[in-house]
Chains A and B, each alone.
Chain A
Amino acid sequence: MIAEETLVNQLQQTETQASAFGVLVDTYKERLYWHIRRIVLNHDDADDVLQNTFIKIYKNISNFKGNSKLYSWIYRIATNEALSFLKTKSRMMGVSDSELQERLVENLTADVYFEGEEIQLKLQQAIATLPEKQKLVFNMKYFEELKYEEISEILETSIGGLKASYHIATKKIEAHLKEQTEYL
């Protein structure tokens, strides 16, 4: 795997930019896709946001000063793109953020790219009830298996705060699932 510093240098040189960008896309496309997909839930939306994220990275790579790590800069762009995509969507639909979350989960039942069972649907419903920050932290820690140090760099939050958010999020999800399964 190419060293991050070398990749950044190549991305900032006109002659090597195109090939370096190919390497960057190959390195991060899957990780970023799943990161975005867990926020927007729908495949087509995730595809749009992922492409916009890479284009934004390509256009702004000259402004990357190396104050943070490349992956955390990239993840930050992807997170912001996905969150602003949802904000625009809720504004266009004339619904609140929480209403949009409910609708996104409801739509999963008819989504051809979702083959979850009842428990997976309940899990998504539980995650949808979380505040934005707890949702991000839970997904990044539980599913993406990122380290607290990495999440801390991406979300620019203290590790202590992240641990607290993750703990609260986990408890809430467990309680929600327990409550749901008792009704089944």
Chain B
Amino acid sequence: MKPFDKNNPFKAPEGYFKKFDENLFKKLSSKDLAIPKKEGFKLPNGYFDSLNDKLQEKLNAEQTNKVVPLKSYKKYYYALAAAAAVLVVALIVNLNKTEKIGFDDLAQADIENYFDKNELDLTSYELAEVMPIGELEMTDMFESNFSEENVLDYLNENTEYLDELNLEDNE
């Protein structure tokens, strides 16, 4: 084996081998760190020191002023349940109640309407039997008051046999 040539024409920078390891590891680590580890976020000075006090204040404020939640429906649920119960009871009571309807409950107009629309097949005599004629007054038959004179004039003109009317006072 030939001995090394003592006259090496190549030169390396001063301290190159001393710094080689350092440079190699620097390069290796920079390859690993394709994604930076530094994020750039900052925060106000003394932020963490004041955090405990801020939290305590907030907790105290919450405990002294018990906040009523805006959407507290609980009380409405109770009210709604109570109202529903009352409604059910009322409906049951009303369904079981058979109210007796009397003649007095009928409106006068309904009665008149009934007589108008239905053929009663009652003769004047039959009606006279049930109608208390003796207690009737002329004004019960007419809504407007007629003077006795006008009535007599009408009868005089329109009745052939005035005597048949048996008007004793006018005889």
Interface size range of chain B in the complex: 20 to 34
Determine if B21 is an interface residue (Cβ-Cβ < 8 Å).
no
A170 and B35 within 8 A (CB): yes
Contact of B54 (CB < 8 Å), options: A51, A114, A123, A142:
A51
One of A22, A30, A38, A177 near B34 (C-beta < 8 A): A177
B58/A55 in contact, CB under 8 A: yes
Q: Least Cβ distance of B6 to chain A in Å?
A: 48
The reply to whether A43 and B40 contact each other, CB–CB distance below 8 Å, is no
Given contacts A51-B54, A113-B44, contact A143 B59 (CB under 8 A): no
Interface residues in A121-145 (C-beta closer than 8 Å to B): 121, 123-124, 142-143
B62 touches A142 (CB 8 A): no
In the complex, are the beta carbons of B51 and A120 less than 8 A apart? no
Give CA–CA (A154, B38) in the complex, Å.
24
CA distance A120 to B58 in the complex (A): 35
Instruction: Enumerate A105-122 residues with CB–CB distance to B below 8 Å.
Output: 108, 112-117, 119-121
A43-B43, A113-B43 given; A173·B48 CB < 8 A? no
**What is the chain A residue whose CB lies nearest that of B54?**
A51
**Smallest CB gap from B42: residue in A:** A113
In the complex, the answer to whether A115 meets B42 with C-beta atoms within 8 Å is yes
Chain B interface residues toward A at CB < 8 A: 34-44, 47-48, 51-52, 54-55, 58-59, 62
